[in-house]
Structure 1
């Protein structure tokens, strides 16, 4: 089995997807509206991206900025549309007003996903208790990844938490892969890799010219080479 680390890149459209794959991305996270930190893309955008690249593609299920689920019926409808269009991997995660996982919303979506693999995203970094959240979600079908910076403020502050969680992967609630993202820099990689972290997520780092410009294949390639070194 290869120990090649997973590199996931945020894509907004087919142009991004092609550049990310050319640079060596293993997987895409497909979103729209990064001003709201990433919302559910249209079915048309998904179809265009899916036909442009052949690497795995995780589609965001999120209706509004923040970590409240909002209109769950609408999210379920969007998930249904995307599944009909061929989506088979997803990203989601919701908290209630007390910072606990919104199990009603999550379970309704997971039921609609019907076994598809999915990532619980950075809502974990805003949770009242990370350990409790992991244990409450542990038995949900399809959950195989947590996207986390270890801290609401980013990887710089989250490193101790990430290193601790990476050492607990044989414990209940910790079996899902840790996908590190949120203020992740190349300088963080040696410590995380040494601790056994093997999945990394970049957004702005793949766009040196900013979010108004497309993914830069050369920027992605720099991360690929750093992870493979």
Structure 2
């Protein structure tokens, strides 16, 4: 694993080329997904295995089968449990997931069943929290689930620009019930956000498009990642 930096930098990777460039630029961790047109779905086991063989930093595998924040009912959850098992058999030991019910609360039945199949692996609850009806209630409902160690959030469904105050307020509550998991800031994140977020105590950052000067049709740039690494280490 890479040496711990002043803040954690996680980069979205779609393939081996992305992963190698992100590690070269100084990423601490990768989020592995496919199909960014749907905001990131579960990659194939073969993609995970190829990336795992190519880099030695931490990998978090997305567990999400379709666009939106619904788990897909019993059939969808069955498939997610199966996929998670296949990923674990291939060596995956960190994951990303998050599902809401029709009322805008956490889909506890789905999340609990999937997490039970992870056997204590660490996982992130992703930006579904930004669409939740009550962020505080969601955190408290999920507080006792094993392995939950991070929330990926912009503080707002509209992105970091609109979520800065919420992120700062939640950072100030770190350690309270429901607020023990690390806040990983992502969703419209820009370099100019970093100083204020760091001053507010935020210490984990997630980038996708910001690592790709050519857009999602192009690969991760090691130079772009290195620019973020330098900013976070300043």
> TM-score w.r.t. structure 1 length?
0.99
Q: Is the 8 A contact 2:5 2:233 kept in 1?
A: no
> In the alignment, is the contact (CA less than 8 A) between 2:41 and 2:66 conserved in 1?
yes
CA contact (8 A) 2:38 2:67 kept: yes
Partner of 1:62: 64
SS at match of 1:52: coil
| Aligned residue in 2 for 1:82 | 87
Partner Cα distance (1:148, 1:170) in 2: 17
How far the C-alpha of 1:170 sits from its partner, in A, is 1.9
CA-to-partner distance for each residue in 1:206-227, whole Å, 9 max, x for gaps? 0010101110000000000000
TM-superposition CA deviations, 1:161-209 (whole Å, max 9, x none): 0000000002100000000000000010011101110000000000010
Provide the residue aligned with 1:33 in structure 2.
35
Separation (CA, whole Å) in 1 of partners of 2:115 and 2:101: 17
Distance 2:197 2:173 in 1: 14
Residue matched to 2:77: 72
Q: Is 2:58 the partner of 1:53?
A: no
How far apart are 1:3 and its partner, in Å?
6.4
SS at structure 2 position matched to 1:190: helix
SS of 1:59's equivalent in the other structure is strand
| Cα distance in 1, alignment partners of residues 124 and 36 from structure 2 | 18
Q: 1:209 aligns with which of 207, 211, 214?
A: 214
Query: Aligned-pair distance for 1:4?
Result: 1.1
User: Which structure 2 residues correspond to residues 171-210 of structure 1 after superposition, within 5 A?
Assistant: 171-210=176-215
> How many angstroms does 1:121 deviate by?
0.1
- Deviations for 1:98-134, whole angstroms, at most 9, x for unmatched residues? 1000001100110000000000000000000000000
SS in 2 for 1:197: coil
Aligned residue runs from structure 1 range 94-173, under 5 A: 94-173=99-178
What are the ranges of 5 or more consecutive residues in structure 2 without an aligned counterpart?
none
2:47 is the alignment partner of 1:11: no
In the alignment, the residues of structure 1 paired with residue 204 and residue 11 of structure 2 have an alpha-carbon distance, to the nearest angstrom, of 11
